[in-house]
Structure 1
Amino acid sequence: MQRQVSAELDRTGEVIDELGALFAGAGFELALVGGPVRDAMLGRPHNDLDFTTSARPDATEALLRQWIAGTKGSGLWDMGRDFGTIGARRGAWQVEVTTYRSEHYDPTSRKPAVDFGDTLAGDLGRRDFTINAMAVRLPGREVVDLYGGVVDLATGVLRTPGTPEASFSDDPLRMMRAARFAAQLGFDVAPEVQAAMTAMADRIAIISAERVRDELVKLICAPYPRRGLTLLVDTGLADRVLPELPALRLERDEHHRHKDVYEHTLTVLEQSIALEERLGLDEPDFVSRFAALMHDVGKPRTRRFVEGGAVTFHHHDVVGAKITRKRMQALKFSNAETDAVCQLVEQHLRFHGYGDGDWTDAAVRRYVRDAGEQLERLHILTRADCTTRNRRKAERLARTYDELEARIAVLAEEEELAALRPALDGNRIMELLGLPPGREVGEAYRFLMELRLDEGVLSEAEAEERLRAWWAERP
């Protein structure tokens, strides 16, 4: 770990040494702090660096202006000035420098009252976890670890510098951050930390929906989301921020006729992540992951026991989409993200509605039309939703879906499925039928669209003939 730290400090030397000398020359202390120090010890280099300093914001701004002066691709911002933070960018490097803090909180308030501190030790003591409470003094590169962060990092444990009760009372969002770091780093949470999270879960109510949402997104997009989600459920925090998840822990019927929906959901999430490369993205895809997490949330509300002990969940896809929309709106997600996730939840059973794979061309076209821009994500969710231990059944489902994707590919090449539309547009319909804009034009367009879905590509002349015949037969 020491070798990794030295290598990372050498790599960032052009920034940290220069800034250290600049601040020291002006009579101020400066230290690299928090995430960059933690990640350096984990061998995870990055170009966004956080510093803490004895300088007040005005002095910090003046020094950073000197640092970026005359450099192309540079800039400075001060949106965090009220919290003591000034940011700057120079070339590939981005830095944020924050005055030593000594925050205090009103127990009923969502926002901290910030007091500037005078010492590095005081600043480190107010941080969320020991692994984030380490620093490197500059320009001498002296590692400062007052709370055992190095040991906790080596053993993979999340602890707080002081008591977790005091830490979470100050900022309840730190409980969500504990789950997020567990998901990002694959760490365990110390027993006393988990106990405090459980006892204080109600405190999360004073945190804004936006801040909770942002932590939840980071958790779900982390490498080990099951760890973080399990922690949220086990501590009761999920009951406050994502109650649909713990609600999936349905009571098993006496004959065990249905799966454990909660464990199934976490497995679907992990299998969805494994298929994410199909999207060709450079980063985790929140939409496909959250759709996997929410795809069965309609089951608790739709569960019915029928004659013979069987269990049904009729229409849980439609009900689940409505539940998902309500939750995402409460968490202040964008309309675009909400629409995408809800569409996937509502359509995740569509594949199974076509029986044993005997798909007509019309059925394939409708599947593609209904999925629209979410088709690739729907492929991922549908495949991930197979968690059966019956190897023969799993292979049959995978083979059937392979055949569906092959059919889609063939039709897509032959018929331009990506841009499904009738041969005639609205203007041509009005011209042929002598109609003004209005409801009847829409009916005619839908008729032609159904023809397109049922029969494939029609020539313009054939579409005109069929349209005239349909119009003549209308009552």
Structure 2
Amino acid sequence: MQSVTAALARLGDLAASPTVSRLANSFAAAGFELALVGGPVRDAFLDRVTNDLDFTTNATPDQILAIVKPIAEAHWDIGRAFGTIGAQIAGEKVEITTYRADSYDGQTRRPDVVFGSSLDDDLLRRDFTVNALALRLPQVTLVDPSNGIDDLLNGVLRTPTAPEISFGDDPLRMMRAARFTAQLGFTLEIDTAIAMAAMAGSINIISAERVGDELGKLLRSANPRAGIELLVESGLAAIVLPEIPALRLEIDEHHHHKDVYQHTLTVLDQAIGYERSRQNLTEPDLVVRLAALLHDIGKPATRRLESGGVVSFYHHDVVGAKLAKKRLRALRFDNDTIAAVGKLVELHLRFFGYTEGAWTDSAVRRYVRDAGDQLERLHILTRADVTTRNRRKADRLGFAYDDLEQRIGELAAQEEMDSVRPDLDGEEIMAILGLKPSREVGEAYRYLLEQRLDDGPLGADEATRRLQSWWSGRRA
């Protein structure tokens, strides 16, 4: 957290930048108000990098367009219905929005768009006091009608108006509370937390796309665990992601197993650590984080209490993959993300068979083939799934996975395993067997692929011999 003096100096430098000063002077010359608002002002106090430049004004969308056209390299009005005009000015993208005073009617999934006339009123309708900050331009005057600076300094999330009113205006703000908890490391103020729990059901009027988008932003944050915990504690998760609170399985005095919910949160934490150390990414890997969060959601449905105090979860990987894909589809995630997460959940247990006995080269090839382009993510998820406090067991599993990865690397170097194909292609199969394109060609191709996985590269002559033998036996 920067001092107020340092933050104001940083905001002064931002106001003097070519993009901001050009905008500010143009709006002032046209006789309209303009203020930098929300995230950029907040982040100046948190010493965080500012990526978005958002402005608010008393000008209407048509008036905004008239002002920015002469000074912009490009402009777009895709958000005009909601009062927002986008532009690129001095190489930077900006968004300028007319003062807003809109709200939900409690029945539909879209807000009633109402333009306001006052900066203070606009700020008081925003989600949290730490985002209800503005810098008037070109005067460079800080506006803070709800004491957001105090909440910033104290690390508190609070709504500018009564939380019942704020969440009633836009129930998605409850999801944002969880996201900002994870993103900023702040604590939710008690009255806001109480209102969030009481009004959790109103999230149902928000579209699945917007809920899914907020969940994605939460998971991409620095500490998604805190946000997930808030969603569960408030009851929101029971509505938007019910598979997670369902992991808090009851444990009786006769049957014992690890706390699946806490295990899942630990796996999420550990996956983020491996993601950062292994992938060298500049952006968080949403697929890895979703897979970590959802990898055990098949356990409640497969839980069985066995004799001797044993609890089993047979096939929870397969069941969990189906549940994960169903939930992500409901939240309108894209098809590639859904497929990748589903594959990772389904395969997350595969490695543990490696610790029970040495795998053949064939088994290693199948592991790589089944993982496909998700192999590196599967490495991360599998390692993160080891949460035992038994150091000897943890080391044994870690060494075993080191060995598996080494074998994968050695085989890949020998065989180009990332693109394993049969030794004969479809055209060659048809020529050898005298076939036309048909189901039999596909069966022959799969047979040769299995031979390739079992025994490695065969060469054309040996592959032909095996193919002809298989075909003769099949016909007989």
TM-score computed with the length of structure 1 as normaliser: 0.97
**Are the aligned partners of 1:131 and 1:149 in contact in 2 as well (CA < 8 Å)?**
yes
Equivalence for 1:10: 13
**Are the aligned partners of 2:19 and 2:90 in contact in 1 as well (CA < 8 Å)?**
no
Show CA shifts across 1:147-181 (max 9, x none): 01111111111000000000011111110011111
Q: Which amino acid is the alignment partner of residue 233 of structure 1?
A: V
Q: Does 1:65 align with 2:69?
A: yes
Show CA shifts across 1:314-355 (max 9, x none): 000011111111111111112211111011000000001234
Give the number of aligned pairs. Answer: 470
| Unpaired stretches in structure 1, ≥5 consecutive residues | 69-73
Say which is worse superposed, 409-418 or 273-282, in terms of deviation. 273-282
* Cα drift, residue 7 of structure 1: 2.1
Q: Which amino acid is the alignment partner of residue 164 of structure 1?
A: P
- Structure 1 runs (4+) deviating above 6 angstroms are none
CA–CA distance in structure 2, aligned partners of residues 84 and 16 of structure 1? 20
* Cα drift, residue 137 of structure 1: 0.5
* Cα drift, residue 458 of structure 1: 1.2
**Structural RMSD (CA):** 1.2
CA–CA distance in structure 2, aligned partners of residues 12 and 347 of structure 1? 51
**Are the aligned partners of 2:355 and 2:400 in contact in 1 as well (CA < 8 Å)?**
no
* Cα drift, residue 8 of structure 1: 4.2
CA–CA distance in structure 1, aligned partners of residues 109 and 272 of structure 2? 34
Equivalence for 2:74: 75
Equivalence for 1:330: 330
Q: 1:397 to 1:355 in 2, by over 3 A?
A: closer
Q: Which amino acid is the alignment partner of residue 7 of structure 2?
A: Q
* Cα drift, residue 91 of structure 1: 4.3
Equivalence for 1:71: none
Q: Which amino acid is the alignment partner of residue 32 of structure 1?
A: L
> Which of 30, 40, 44 is 2:44 aligned to?
40
**Are the aligned partners of 2:355 and 2:397 in contact in 1 as well (CA < 8 Å)?**
no
* Cα drift, residue 12 of structure 1: 4.9
Q: Which amino acid is the alignment partner of residue 469 of structure 2?
A: A
Q: Which amino acid is the alignment partner of residue 324 of structure 1?
A: A
Show CA shifts across 1:403-430 (max 9, x none): 0000000000000000011110011000
DSSP-derived class of the 1:87 partner: strand
Equivalence for 1:393: 393
Equivalence for 2:302: 302
Q: Which amino acid is the alignment partner of residue 420 of structure 1?
A: V
CA–CA distance in structure 1, aligned partners of residues 326 and 264 of structure 2? 19
Show CA shifts across 1:55-103 (max 9, x none): 11111111111222xxxxx310111111111110134311111111121
Q: Does 1:98 align with 2:97?
A: yes
CA–CA distance in structure 2, aligned partners of residues 264 and 384 of structure 1? 10
Within 5 Å, which residues of 2 pair with 1:268-287? Answer: 268-277=267-276, 278-287=278-287
DSSP-derived class of the 1:31 partner: strand
CA–CA distance in structure 1, aligned partners of residues 45 and 13 of structure 2? 13
Q: Which amino acid is the alignment partner of residue 260 of structure 2?
A: V
Equivalence for 1:451: 451
* Cα drift, residue 279 of structure 1: 2.6
Equivalence for 2:419: 419
**Are the aligned partners of 1:179 and 1:219 in contact in 2 as well (CA < 8 Å)?**
yes
DSSP-derived class of the 2:96 partner: strand
Within 5 Å, which residues of 2 pair with 1:137-152? Answer: 137-152=136-151
* Cα drift, residue 229 of structure 1: 0.4
Q: 1:90 to 1:18 in 2, by over 3 A?
A: closer
> Which of 43, 51, 60 is 1:56 aligned to?
60
* Cα drift, residue 20 of structure 1: 1.4
Say which is worse superposed, 463-472 or 154-163, in terms of deviation. 463-472
Q: 1:91 to 1:468 in 2, by over 3 A?
A: farther
**Are the aligned partners of 2:181 and 2:227 in contact in 1 as well (CA < 8 Å)?**
yes
Q: Does 1:28 align with 2:32?
A: yes
Within 5 Å, which residues of 2 pair with 1:144-163? Answer: 144-163=143-162
Q: Which amino acid is the alignment partner of residue 375 of structure 2?
A: L
* Cα drift, residue 104 of structure 1: 3.5
